[in-house]
Structure 1
Amino acid sequence: MNDALSAALHRAADHQRRFETRFAAYFDALADPAAGAPQPPPPGRFPARALDLVRELSLRGGKRLRVVLLHEAAALVTDRPVPGLDEAAISIELLHTHGLIHDDVIDDAPVRRGGPSTYYAYRDEFPDRPDTALALAVLAGDLAAFLAVRVLLTGDLPPDRAVAMAAVPIEAGADAVNGQLLDLERDFHPEPDTAFLHAVTEYKSTRYSVLAPLRLGLLAAGADPAPHDAELRAYATAVGIANQIHDDWLDLFGDPAVLGKPLGTDLRAGRRSYLVRALLAATAADESGRRTLEAALGNPDPDALAPVRDLARTHGLDRTLHAEALRHAHRAAALAATWHTRWRPGAVAFFTHLPAWSVTRDH
């Protein structure tokens, strides 16, 4: 490991630790007018409970990679403290919480980050009123999305910068909703092509998980990301695809205890992920294998997963899928390596080495 990357990883750990404290304090302030809330919390039990569940899921864990990305994006142009990064980090993580809550509603997922999903928490509280549980979960996700914008507009940033930064989660949120729509459409295609899968990844996750933090960090540091938009998008796209392919790999070959959720969620829901598409292609001339796959697709029985895992290994998909993720990761690293001519070397080293980490992580 070179010195620049080692320094960047130490900074990343510092960013993560500091953010956890700052994020908890943000939620404390929202619930307590005396702690500096932008406005008093509304009366009633339901609003308070929605905020509690948003807080609980937000603070329950996660890699906080988006937080690190925006700090390192700011570090591309300056080594000085940058006002607004805390608010930007809170914004992007709240937007992520919004996505998780709604994703778990759509997927009917009981577990998230090692605990109950927001939807299932409400289902447990209202076992005889499923419509109310569903409505409350949707509204909790909406609350997180609007808070993601408000935190940028109610801070101490100059008005023009606050507006420019607030536009980022608004655009990223709209893209993510379109990505969710594409995600649902994808499963109406028995065997979607790779281009369509890339589009789902681009809209559903890449734009808010990678591109938005890059833009927010540069904006907070006083830099205009617009002249570099094409290369930032290209980098984000390559990282996003590599990351999603690896997520699909983990969904079949990962450790559920480390992941914090059961394996095979995509397969058992019948989703046409990168992995499922590869399985469909691999079993095109394998009648027995195709029957095994079709028996598992959309089958909630967890016992149907092991034969598919064996099938994937028989066809070498554990290796080929990982190799495909690495190919996109190498492309992202090569793009970031060209940034050294104009941006600070320590942060450039971080973005150069990040893609390789994204396809070797275990959760």
Structure 2
Amino acid sequence: MRRAAGHQHRFDARFAAYFDSLTDAAGGALEMPPHGRFPSRALELVRELSLRGGKRLRVALLHEAAALVTDEVVPGLDEAAISVELLQTHGLIHDDIIDDTPRRRGGPSTYYAYRDEFPDRPATALALAVLAGDLAAFLSVRVLLTGDLPPARALAMAAVHADAGATTVTGQILDLERDFHPAPDAELLHTVTEYKSTRYSVLAPLRLGLLAAGADLAPYDGELRAYAGALGIANQIHDDWLDLFGDPAALGKTPGSDVRSGRRSYALAALLASADETERKVLEGALGDPDCDDDTLRRIRRIARTHGIDRTLRTEADRYARRAADRAATWHGRWRTQAVEFFEHLPAWSVTRDR
């Protein structure tokens, strides 16, 4: 995905410049309190996590969505990219609180950074992490409304963004409910995936890119949803595969977070449905145990491989990736070829990546 890498490289420099602009000594764009160090520290931690990267898939989707209809420079794409990446930062900070995750993107999670700073005040550490996530969320809307976009277009893009944020929160709530089901079925898992991640990670960037380029979404929204839905499921199944079978060095975090948090992921739901009584006892003893050791995780991986869960997940991820690619293939003749080819090739890449 050379084109995606190019978008990532250009965006990372732009993202760093955005954070510099918020607190520039000559007159930062964000008015910070004149006293106290906690507000600036919160913004610093939001910046650190944001700039530690990730795949920047949302950024590539935005630019390529605009490229479907034009090869001209499109005003507002940088602001939209910053917006969705700040929403991602908000989600990561809150996810790491919910899951009690020590590391994220090769460094400490925001929650654990605060826990290290306030070891004797756990409630304060928790509150500050929640507020840092909230700060990222509000900044993500602010950047769309304070740029140079025409007012009507800025409002339309902000509405798409706000809708994505709201549905993501409802998805996170459903994610917690899912784990009350001993072995959730595929439809529930697909719904969690759609609301918790697909709506903001795939569908919102597609909509924002097209809106920025001046396109009318109405005639195409159904097929955008279909493409996003299939790609989102493929991507999430692969993420769940990585969490159980992935390489820690490539991931930038310790595998097994789904086991330790008790999350009934695609992988663990399939394993719970397949395990015999003895195996189920091992699984149920480990699920939700934050101190689950590496030996137990290795045993769970062996059980999963015995039942072919690793192969089953790859097959399912490939099936949904092909469905997304087939949907994109129908866009030839309507939209620009090079951008359509990006959307055709993206699903296969999304289920072969190592992080």
Q: Same fold (TM over 0.5)?
A: yes
C-alpha displacement at 1:33, in angstroms? 5.1
1:191 counterpart (161, 171, 183): 183
Contact 1:179/1:203 (<8 A) preserved? yes
C-alpha displacement at 1:293, in angstroms? 2.0
C-alpha distance in 1, partners of 2:284/2:135? 39
RMSD: 1.1
TM-score, normalization by structure 1: 0.95
C-alpha displacement at 1:291, in angstroms? 2.4
Contact 2:171/2:196 (<8 A) preserved? yes
Q: Which residue of 2 aligns with 1:320?
A: 312
Contact 1:295/1:304 (<8 A) preserved? no
Contact 1:111/1:117 (<8 A) preserved? yes
C-alpha distance in 2, partners of 1:39/1:115? 26
1:95 counterpart (87, 90, 93): 87
Asked if 1:139 corresponds to 2:138, the answer is: no
C-alpha distance in 1, partners of 2:86/2:279? 42
SS at match of 1:341: coil
2:31 counterpart (40, 50, 54): 40
Contact 2:23/2:30 (<8 A) preserved? no
SS at match of 1:339: coil
Q: Which residue of 2 aligns with 1:67?
A: 59
C-alpha displacement at 1:237, in angstroms? 0.6
Aligned residues: 352
TM-score, normalization by structure 2: 0.97
1:288 counterpart (273, 278, 285): 278
Q: Which residue of 2 aligns with 1:298?
A: 288
2:23 counterpart (20, 31, 53): 31
SS at match of 2:59: helix
Which segments of 5 or more consecutive residues in structure 1 lack a partner in the other structure?
Answer: 1-8
Report Cα offsets for 1:42-84 as digits up to 9, x if no partner.
2221110010000000001200010000000000000010011
Q: Which amino acid aligns with 1:38?
A: A
Report Cα offsets for 1:122-155 as digits up to 9, x if no partner.
1111111111111110010000001001001100
Contact 1:83/1:220 (<8 A) preserved? yes
C-alpha distance in 2, partners of 1:250/1:101? 20
Q: Which residue of 2 aligns with 1:3?
A: none
Name whichever of 47-56 and 10-19 sits farther off.
10-19
C-alpha distance in 1, partners of 2:278/2:170? 37
Contact 1:211/1:232 (<8 A) preserved? yes
Q: Which amino acid aligns with 1:215?
A: R
Asked if 1:149 corresponds to 2:159, the answer is: no
SS at match of 1:333: helix
Q: Which amino acid aligns with 2:321?
A: A
Asked if 1:269 corresponds to 2:261, the answer is: yes
Q: Which runs of 4+ in 1 moved over 6 A?
A: none
Report Cα offsets for 1:165-210 as digits up to 9, x if no partner.
1112211100110011000000111111111111100000000000
Distance 1:33 1:226, change over 3 A: farther
Q: Which amino acid aligns with 1:67?
A: V
C-alpha distance in 2, partners of 1:358/1:146? 29
C-alpha distance in 1, partners of 2:281/2:125? 37
C-alpha distance in 2, partners of 1:87/1:211? 17
C-alpha distance in 1, partners of 2:190/2:138? 28
Report Cα offsets for 1:228-247 as digits up to 9, x if no partner.
11110111010000000000
Asked if 1:120 corresponds to 2:112, the answer is: yes
Name whichever of 267-276 and 351-360 sits farther off.
267-276
C-alpha distance in 1, partners of 2:12/2:30? 23
